[in-house]
Amino acid sequence: QQQVKQSPQSLIVQKGGISIINCAYENTAFDYFPWYQQFPGKGPALLIAIRPDVSEKKEGRFTISFNKSAKQFSLHIMDSQPGDSATYFCAASILWANNLFFGTGTRLTVIP
Amino acid sequence: GAVVSQHPSWVICKSGTSVKIECRSLDFQATTMFWYRQFPKQSLMLMATSNEGSKATYEQGVEKDKFLINHASLTLSTLTVTSAHPEDSSFYICSAAPPGAEQYFGPGTRLTVT
């Protein structure tokens, strides 16, 4: 059973546009929601993370929106750049040091 | 941020042989490390949780006798794939968390079994 559902599977965005990736979860015990960026042949790198006590967190061009009642959270990448082309994974865990449940991933392509 | 390394980054072995993958936390101690497996164009799936000084906890469906995990020190965990077969070919990634901080992932090890 997929504990974290992610969409879309792939996304193509023009340079300068906004990339939006959505995730949903079922386990209300989850209290840590990170987003990871992964380039081919590399391990995932933490982009930004949020806890359920806030509805939004912004770091540079990256913003997480969190809707606790809907059990959904999303990643917005503003002013998308070709260098942002990668696979993005949402994840969730109970306490940030515990094992992570990953979404299925979104392959983002930013067209120059 | 904290650094997690893996060795080797890429290994090719023949079917039936065993291969060991190392995961090290370079600048922090980790009582717990995690091992994930990722098939091409798929997500990361947790294989096991490695605890220093005790037996690893394996996820359902992961053969503990095939994937041997040893967490011998606070900075090193090893995953040994025993009697490897082509279907074990995958990208193996470890992660670790410094005390009171989020997890950091290693760069991964690509295993190809011929």
Which tens digits make up the pLDDT trace of A34-56?
999 999 999 999 999 999 999 99
Asked whether the beta carbons of A52 and A31 are under 8 A apart, the reply is yes
Average pLDDT of the residues in B24-37: 93
Chain B residues closer than 8 Å to A107 by CB: 41
The size of chain B, in residues, is 114
C-alpha distances (whole Å) from A48 to each of A55, A88, B53, B106 are 14, 11, 32, 17
Q: How confident is the model at residue B102 (pLDDT cuts 50, 70, 90)?
A: confident
* B102: amino acid identity, one letter: E
Half-sphere exposure of residue A66: CA atoms within 13 angstroms, side-chain side = 23
Q: Closest by alpha carbon to A112, among A10, A13, A11? A: A13
CA distance B81 to chain A (A): 19
| Interchain contact A32–B (C-beta under 8 A) | yes
CB contact under 8 A, A42 and B108: yes
Question: How far apart are the C-alpha atoms of A99 and B57, rounded to whole Å?
Answer: 11
> A88 CB near a chain B CB, below 8 Å?
no
CA A20 to CA A108: how far, in whole Å? Answer: 10
Distance CA A37, CA A99 (A): 18
pLDDT of residue B98: 82
